[in-house]
Structure formats: C-alpha cells, structure tokens
Structure 1
Amino acid sequence: MSSDLEEALAALGPVIQSYQSTVDDFDREAARILRVNDTDLRCLETLVDAGDDGITPREIADRLALTTGSVTTMLDRLERVGYLARTPHPSDRRRLIVRPTPRALELIWGIIGPHIAESSAAVAEAFSTAELKIARRFLETVTEVQRSHVSLLRARDALG
C-alpha cells in the first residue's frame, strides 16, 4: 500500500467517526421530539423503509436483532401513541402486517424532510454526478463491512 493511500485512508477515519456521531445526535434529537427511545426510533425507521407493503413483527425482530416478545412490547407501546397500525396479513391469517400511521409519517417526514432537502441541495452543488457515484460505491462498501462486523459482534459471547 502506498503512503499516499495510507494517508488518505487514515484521514477518512476521523471524518467517518464525526459523521457517525452527528447521525447519532440527529437520531437522538428525533427520538426526543417523537418521545420514543432509540429502539423505537429504529423500528419506526424500519417501518418507513418497508413502504406501503408494511412488515411483519418477525421481520422487525430479525432486522433489529430483538426477541419477538420485546418486539411485541415495543409495537404495543408505539401503537398506544398512535405511530403504527397492525393489520391481518393478506395471505396468512396467523401473521400481522405493521405499518406506520399517517400521523407518524407526517411527524417523521417533518423531522427528516428538511434535512434530506438541504443535504441533497448541498451535495448537488458540491459534487459532480461521477463523484457521487464514487461516493455511493464507497458508502456501500463501508456499510457492508459495518454490517459484517455487526453480525460478528452479535454472534460473540458477552464476555468473550
């Protein structure tokens, strides 16, 4: 590895860490405004990402690495505050589909919409299409490495 590449990689570390800290700060403030905890916020993000089709409680449990019992408790809590609705699965009457309510979507997009708009405008002004394609490839690569290490940590013993 060349010293230029080593230097460039070393310079990325603090920038990535700063970005992650800022994302964590944004999420903490969004959770505060919505009056939910961090795990509930992740659930709401998962529901928004699932789109109109919704998602099953089992899929939520798998994506958030939670037990089905804790997901049920979380869904009960989010349903009580009006952030989600559970409906019967269209093809399997033993299962449920979970979707965010219109109220939840309005509140969530009220928080993230301005951020997305400003970020998009700033990025469009600062980067070419070619640079954005490279940035996307970079982010996809580091995200996949991050996912791999999350899986490793989940499989690791608590004291191991």
Structure 2
Amino acid sequence: MSSETPSIAHDGRHSKEAELRRQLGAEVRALQSATDAVDAATAERLGINRTDLHCLDVLTQRDSAAPSELAAALGLTTGSVTAMLDRLARLGYLTREPDPQDRRKSVVLATEETRRGAADLYGPLAEEGAALMARYSLPELELLVDFLRRNRELQERHAERLRERAG
C-alpha cells in the first residue's frame, strides 16, 4: 500500500461524512417546514390561528392548565391568553372551570370534542409514524430519541437567546 492510500480513504470518508451531515441538516429543515405545513393546514381546517392551535396542543397534552401556565407555555401575556381563551371557548374548543384547589382561580380544559377532533386530525399521522418507527431497532430508536431531544434543546436555547436579544 502506498502512503497516499490512507489519505485518499480518509478524504473519501471525510467527504461522505460531510455530505451526510449536509443532507441531515437539509432533512431537519425540510421536516420543520413539513411540520409547519401540517400545523397551518390543521389551524385553517379548525378556523383558528397558529397560536390558538398551539394552545390546544398544550391542553390536549395535559388534563388541565391554569391560564398563567398557558401564558408561560405559549410565551404570551395574560391579557393575550384571556382573549385567546375567550375565542376558543366561543368556538367550543375548551372550557373553563373553577380550580379544585382554589375556587377563586380557574383551570382550562380541552373539550372532549376537541380531544376527539385531535385524534381524527392526527390519527393517520400517528399510525403512519408508528409504522415508520417499527422499522428501527432499539439502538436506532435510542439514537433517534437522543438526536431529537438534543435538537429540541438546541432550538429552545436559541429561542431564549433570541428573546434575550430582543428584550
């Protein structure tokens, strides 16, 4: 073997790795755009805006939430949350009930109709996603979870940096 062979192999491996990293970055961006398109289509179908949809997503992941918790989760002022909750309640997407721990406060809940509607809208996506995940081995799933978790944390840190710079 000549002394150049390892260098050539290294360069080939390096260029393939660089190309795979580029492709991975491009696919992450494309996934974000595709997810954004699903969110836009869902919000349009429900007759609400994207912030309203995000609120319903938060509520369907929890049993209930205080308006102040929604404000924090959505990055909104309490006044904005009140207007949003009024709008979503009028549309029948959520209800407000007295907080069982403190009757002076209220909690917000997604209606059963909203929960069923979410299952109808997202059910096919969840089914196809489950079939897709079934193709991966346990170590591959662990790698994917790690990759997605780290990328979510990266996005959250960057969002915080952007908010700090703005304020």
Please give the TM-score of this superposition, normalised by the length of structure 2: 0.87
Q: How does 1:1-160 map to 2 (within 5 A)?
A: 3=14, 5-50=17-62, 52=63, 54-124=64-134, 126-157=135-166
Once the 2 structures are TM-superposed, how far is the Cα of residue 155 of structure 1 from its aligned partner?
Answer: 1.8
Once the 2 structures are TM-superposed, how far is the Cα of residue 5 of structure 1 from its aligned partner?
Answer: 4.8
Whole-Å separation in 1 of the counterparts to 2:104 and 2:22: 52
How many residues were matched structurally?
154
Q: Which has the higher relative contact order, 1 or 2, with Cα contacts under 8 A spaced 6 or more apart?
A: 1
Whole-Å separation in 2 of the counterparts to 1:75 and 1:140: 30
Whole-Å separation in 1 of the counterparts to 2:166 and 2:149: 28
Structure 1 counterpart of 2:3: none
Q: Which runs of 4+ in 1 moved over 3 A?
A: 2-8
Identity of aligned residues (%): 40
Once the 2 structures are TM-superposed, how far is the Cα of residue 118 of structure 1 from its aligned partner?
Answer: 1.1
Larger Rg: 2
Which range is displaced more, 37-46 or 6-15? 6-15
Q: Name structure 1 gaps, 5 residues minimum.
A: none
Once the 2 structures are TM-superposed, how far is the Cα of residue 131 of structure 1 from its aligned partner?
Answer: 0.5
Once the 2 structures are TM-superposed, how far is the Cα of residue 6 of structure 1 from its aligned partner?
Answer: 4.1
RMSD: 1.5
Whole-Å separation in 1 of the counterparts to 2:113 and 2:87: 15
